[in-house]
Copies of this chain bind each other. A is one copy, B any other.
Amino acid sequence: MAQLITDRRDIDFVLFEQLDTEALLKEERYSGFTRKTLDLIINEARTFALKELLPVCAEGDRTGVTFENGEVKVPACFHRAHKLYLEGEWTSLTEPVELGGQGLPPSVARAVAEYMVGANYTCVNYANFGHGTGKMIELFGTPEQKKLFVKKLYTAQWTGGMLLTEPEAGSDVGALTTEAVKNDDGTYSITGTKIFITNGEHDLADNIISPVLARVKGAPAGTKGISIFIVPKYWVNADGSHGARNDIICTGIEEKMGIHGSACCTMSMGSKGQCRGFLLGEENQGMKIMFHMMNEARLGVGFQAFVHGSVAYQYALNYARERIQGKDLTGGKDSPSVPIIRHPDVRRMLMWMKSYVEGLRSFIYYTESLFARAVLACTDEECTYYKGLIDLFTPLIKAFSAQRGFDVTVQAMQVYGGAGYCKEFPVEQQVRDCKITSIYEGTDGIQAMDLLGRKIVMDGGKAFGDFLKQIQATIDMAKQKDDLAGLALQLEKAAGRMGEVADILSQAVMGPNVKQAFAHAFPFLEVMGDVIVGWMRLWRAGVASEALAKGAKAKEQDFYRGQIKTSQFFIETVLPCTMGKLESIRQMSKAAVEMDEAWFGN
């Protein structure tokens, strides 16, 4: 049967062959699970996603969110699916049971989410998005606040949000003007307007708990004067019951290119002077606290983009196998028409998509596995090691997935030809939905600045060095295998050049050529992403090669051979382009910086 939404065989390959997730189950933290229970959970996710979420995905896109008389209504068809999603306890899977979660390893939670997000991103995002708000309260709230909010948010009985952006403060968060004034009872009165607020208002939950960035009257300008407040739609009394409706209202929603099922709200606070919130943590600590949620959200957005690409690839692959058109190029003029997967150019597109989709899956699951390792770490040093890699990878997962995930959806549309452009087929929606991922949670350009300006150089470049060592370990492994040694050498060359270029750029960032360096930050993020995908592909090929050497069953051999061949495709056709891009960055052209504004014309 055709794989829908995602490729289960590949998920299992990553979880249990590439990453050895079973080793985690020997740890006490995960001792409640066996390989078999994990299989069952993923199976159940698949069943639920295909039965309840997928059937209302296109309808949610068509219907969209409506706004009338201050009320936001999600697509009506989402209500049942959302209710069942909560009843099935699919939210906050990695949290402990006592807080409403299931205590799953993070990488396994991603496997579940591939089905859920793949089947209907905008629908499940209402339920999933509150976790970040809950996590900030868990980490920085008072015992009372934790008791009142965390479990409700983790189980999505109440949903959360993320109120950062203002009309004049987007990428420059520090420019925000929403103001907070302390009241006698310890709460704060908040006044201001936030825009582009995903799920800021909707009709799926009893209460909506909004974390809001604002400046306490008199606080310093810029990011260091920002505090974070929790502003519930309905005030929450000490006994957990709802109090009065708070003065936070939706004044409009955006019409967007895609994610039509997702409410994108303008939120006005204090228009009647009655918006109350409570401070989370201490005053002026808002950015530090919010970054906990932002990092989670960035990984989430990268994952979302990967899933859109992965779903689109599966659809395109199935279509290419079924669509009969044209003859085999070497079949002769009386040969029958064949499925388009036989045509070299269609294969090129499919192999390219498969390379990236699987490479990103490995990268994302690998990074999730680092979270488990950081928690299980025996020493601070070990924990710091894993967290360093996570910090380094976060902007890459966000932005590189956003770029390549979108490119894959576009390529999938191309495989479909004219049908791909029509709403009757599913990839059209994936293209439109995916596009937002390069923009929200910090544009990809912002991520590139984070990568070059902070992450590569942090701790004297330690995490970047650790990352290079990890790649080298995979290269050394592959060099031992006759069938992979040539590919290993090509990756080694690219990784080495990447290291040199990183040195050049990060030194330039410190000096007078800082602008010139940052003009190449985004291309550098792209080459680093490509090298990582090359790394993941070589790693995959190594695992597959070993499985074949050990005598895999006939049916399994197909999968493993496909892994090796796809890795060969990526390293032989994509990495040479990456080398060219590295050369482009190495030259560090000054042209973009030297261009006078007037020279652009008017």
Contact = CB atoms under 8 A, between A and B. Distances in A.
Interface of A: 1-3, 7, 9-10, 165, 168, 170-172, 175, 195-196, 222, 254-258, 264, 317, 321, 324-327, 329-330, 333, 337, 341-351, 354, 406, 410, 413-414, 417-418, 420-424, 428, 431-432, 435-436, 438-440, 443-445, 448-449, 514-516, 518-523, 558-559, 561-562, 565-566, 568-569, 572-574, 576-581, 583-584, 587, 589, 591-602
Nearest to A2: B602
Contact of A599 (B321, B327, B561): B561
9 contacts: A255-B424, A257-B423, A344-B516, A348-B520, A421-B439, A431-B435, A432-B432, A576-B584, A577-B577
A515 B329 CA distance: 7
A592 B347 contact: yes
A195 B254 CA distance: 34
A321 B597 contact: yes
A602 B428 CA distance: 22
A587 B561 contact: no
One complex includes copies of this chain to the number of 2
B592 A583 contact: no
B175 A325 contact: yes
Given A165-B418, A418-B196, A345 B448 contact: yes
A558 B599 contact: yes
A589 B602 contact: no
A230 to B, nearest CB: 24
Nearest to A444: B414
A588 to B, nearest CB: 9
Given A344-B516, A515-B344, A584 B573 contact: yes
A256 B431 CA distance: 12
A170 B562 contact: no
B256 A344 contact: no
Nearest to A317: B600
A159 to B, nearest CB: 21
A568 B596 contact: no
B583 A522 contact: no
Contact of A351 (B7, B568, B592, B596): B592
Contacts of A436: 421
A415 to B, nearest CB: 9
B421 A344 contact: no
Contacts of A1: 602
Nearest to A570: B591
B325 A171 contact: yes
Given A222-B333, A583-B579, A423 B255 contact: yes
A4 B430 CA distance: 31
A591 B576 contact: no
Nearest to A567: B591
A573 B580 CA distance: 10
A473 to B, nearest CB: 25
Given A257-B421, A421-B435, A596 B561 contact: yes
